[in-house]
Every structure is written in structure tokens, then in C-alpha cells.
Amino acid sequence: MSNALFDTAPDFSQPIAVLKHCHDRIRKQLQTLQNLIGHLPRHGADVDAQKAAQAVLKYFNNAAHLHHEDEEQNLLPMLRATARDADASLLAELAPGILAGHEQMDRDWTIIKTQLEQIANGTSATLSASDVAHFCDSYAAHMVVEETHIATMARRLFSAEQMAQLGSAMQVRRGITPDLPHSQVPEQQTAAVSNTVADGVVLADLRLDYGRASLTEQDVLDDPIDQFGKWFEEAMHAKVNEPNAMSVATVDADGKPSSRIVLIKQYDQRGFTWYTNYASQKGQQLRGNPHAALLFFWSELERQVRIEGKVVQTAAEESDKYFYSRPVKSQIAAIASQQSAPIADREQMEANYDAAAAVSGEHPLRPAHWGGYRLDPVRIEFWQGRRSRFHDRIVYVKQADGSWVKERLQP
């Protein structure tokens, strides 16, 4: 009566087929649940019933959630970034229900799981027919929607490169090392440690051909801040990993550049704002040369935004407002740390924090050396990855009268 947990599966080069295969395995486990409903009243929690319960538990505890994560973290975000017009409208209509369905099925599984665990160890022969029916019916209807609309849309819209990316993400989630291009290289190349990585893959061969979207002059808005807002919202909607993370590049008195990742806290027509220690390396460099460059890179959408301009400190009132909105422990950390200055060890850092906490109590005061910077942009470039490295680049340049002129750049 039990079902084999593993059977022959499609290759991950066919990720949509793999997802369908996952559905088929789920259907087998749902059928086992339904079989148990008829078996238990006649035979109780016998060996067959225990094995069946163990099989269902094993699958839904260890494998089913991976299928949900494939959809939530990869398939749906990729479709959101790719779908247009009627496809985008249909996706917007269906996706919330799919995500809500995942949550509901997880809750329903918790109820059934408790019953199955007792059957699996032979201590109970009770399995609620209504709970099983609700779980099976909900799951079956859910999978029909995904197969009818989501899988069909993905097959139609995704490029070969997107399919490869989806398949690789699914492999990683399952602890499988994805196949990389050009893994077979001449021995004399793999011997050079400086330009190779694991399995002899040459760094120069590590490339992913982009192809999710395009960017034309007609696509972009007239104002670059509005266009940035549009892309930022799309990055948020696609669940890009930390869409607010940006590189800040500064230059010291000798003309030597340095960069670091910080989190943007605000953007508007005045510019792009972040907060930090004014005495840090970037703060010292900005005092000597207020010109800086920002970079956002949203790999999931194959997009980057380059921003250049002059940096000024925000008003004390703005710095206060943000500082006091932070958690108290973060406020104390800003007081305790002399950012970028050397220190003997972690223990000394902890001691400095404890000392600052003892003095500050529950209401720390913003130190004068901590506050906001705002970059007033004069140049903003939007970059969309395209196939064969023939990328789309649209740049806006601010004019003397404050207006913006946009033009296309060659890749």
C-alpha cells in the first residue's frame, strides 16, 4: 500500500517538467492518504498502514516544501519580471491565490501530520476523513491552476537561459551542484590557479546570457527619479534579494577609489539618501571630494542602475528622525563604534558597546558624528541585460536648468 518515495525524474535542464513531476509525486501521496481512509477502519494501524503513513510523512516533511520554494522564490518572481500585458494581468490575478494556497496547505498539513505520526508509530488508527478530503481537494485544485496557467506561461515566455537559471536554482535548493558551462577545459588551462574555480571551470567562461527583458527609449519615463522608482518597485515586487542595497564609491585625496555596500533609506527629487558615521572612511573622503557614484545591481531582473553626483549631509532634523526610528541597540552600536578605525579585538568592541549602553540607557542621543548623506544626481544610467552582451543602456544627464536629457549608449 505504500508508495516509493523516489522515482525517475526529468533532468533539471527541463525545470517545468521537474515541477510537473513533483506534482505527480504529490498526487501519489494524496492517493495514499485517501487509501488510508479506507484501510484503517478494516485493519487498524497495521504494518501496511504504518508504512503508508511513514511514506506520506517523509514526502511532505522533506520534499513538498522545496516545490513551494521553487515557485515562491524563483518561478513566480521570474514570471513577474518577464510577463507583459495579458500575461502580466493574469499573473497578478493568480499569484496571490497561489501564495495563499501554499500557506493554507501548510496549515492543513500540520493537522494531518499529527494524526499520521501516531499511525506511523502504531499508537493510533484515527485519520479524519474530512481533514484528508479538504487537504487533497485543495492541493489537487491548486496544482491544476499551476499546470494550466503558470507552467504554460513559463514554457511560452522563458528563454533557454531563463530555463537554465530556474533549473540551477532548483538544483541548489536540493543540495545538487548545478552543471556549469564549459566544465571540460584543457589541462593546461585548469592548472592556472589564478584564473580557475572549482572543477576546472575557467573564470572567463563563467557567463550567463541575459534575456529576460529589453529597454527602449519608449519604455522609460521622462524623469529618471520616476524611472528609478518604477524599477525599484518592480525589484520589490519580484522579491529581489535586498533591492535597497547599493554600492557607494568615493575617492580619497590621492585619487584612489574605494567602494562599499550600504542600504538606501530614501529617494526623491532631492536625491538618494543613506546614513552612516561621518568620521568613517567614506565620510572622510566625501569631505575632501564630495563627488560619488552609486550602483544598484538586481541580478534577478538582470538590471543595474548607475548614479553619479555630488553628496551633501542631510539636515540635523532628518538625521534625528531616522536615528530615533532605529532599534535602540542599533542606536547604541552607532554611538559605540568609531567606524573604520582599528581596534584590538571583538572583546574590546563588545566592551565599548556595553559602556555606551550603560551611559545611554533606553533613550540614546544621536551623536554629532552620525547622520545622513544625500547624493544629488547629475547622471543616471539604466542598464538592462540582453543576449550576446548586446545590452540596453539608457542614460539621463542633468542640464544646467535642472532638466534631464536622455540618450542610448552602446553596450
265 is in an annotated binding site: yes
Which residues neighbour 88 within 8 Å (Cβ) at sequence distance 6 or greater? 80
- Nearest Cα neighbor of 9 from 147, 1, 22, 377 is 22
Amino acid at 18: V
Read off the DSSP letter of residue 365. Answer: P
User: What does the angle CA 357 – CA 362 – CA 366 come to, to the nearest 5 degrees?
Assistant: 75
Q: Measured between alpha carbons, how far is 109 from 111 in angstroms, rounded to an integer? A: 5
Q: Is 370 annotated as a binding residue?
A: no
82 marked ligand binding residue = no
Q: Is 264 annotated as a binding residue?
A: yes
Give the span between the Cα atoms of 204 and 80, in whole angstroms: 31
Are 105 and 139 spatial neighbours (Cβ–Cβ below 8 Å)?
yes
330 is in an annotated binding site: yes
404 has binding-site annotation: no
Q: Would the annotation count 276 as a binding residue? A: yes
* CA 93 – CA 81 distance, rounded (Å): 15
* Residue 39 counted as an annotated binding residue: no
The verdict on whether residue 239 carries a ligand-binding annotation is: no
267 annotated to bind ligand: no
282 is in an annotated binding site: yes
Q: State the DSSP code for 149.
A: I
Give the Cα separation of 297 and 305 in Å (integer): 7
* Torsion sign across C-alpha atoms 270, 274, 278, 282: negative
Cell of 57: 510523512
Is 21 labelled a binding residue? no
267 grid coordinates: 529617494
306 is in an annotated binding site: no
Query: Is 393 within any annotated ligand binding site?
Result: yes
260 assigned binding-site residue: yes
Per the annotation, does 124 bind a ligand? Answer: no
Q: Is 42 annotated as a binding residue?
A: no
396 labelled as ligand-binding? no
Annotated binding residue at 107? no
Dihedral angle over CA of 99, 101, 105, 106, nearest 10: 20
Q: Which helix (H) or strand (E) holds 371?
A: strand 370-384
Q: Determine the Cα–Cα distance for residues 124 and 118; give it in Å rounded to an integer.
A: 5
Query: DSSP states of 19-64 as a string?
Result: HHHHHHHHHHHHHHHHHHHHHHHHH-S-HHHHHHHHHHHHHHHHTH
27 is in an annotated binding site: no
At 82, the amino acid letter reads T
Q: From the annotation, which residues make up the binding site?
A: 260-265, 275-276, 282, 304, 322, 326, 330, 339-340, 383, 389-391, 393
Q: From the annotation, which residues make up the binding site for substrate?
A: 265, 322, 326, 330, 389-391
Q: From the annotation, which residues make up the binding site for FMN?
A: 260-265, 275-276, 282, 304, 339-340, 383, 393
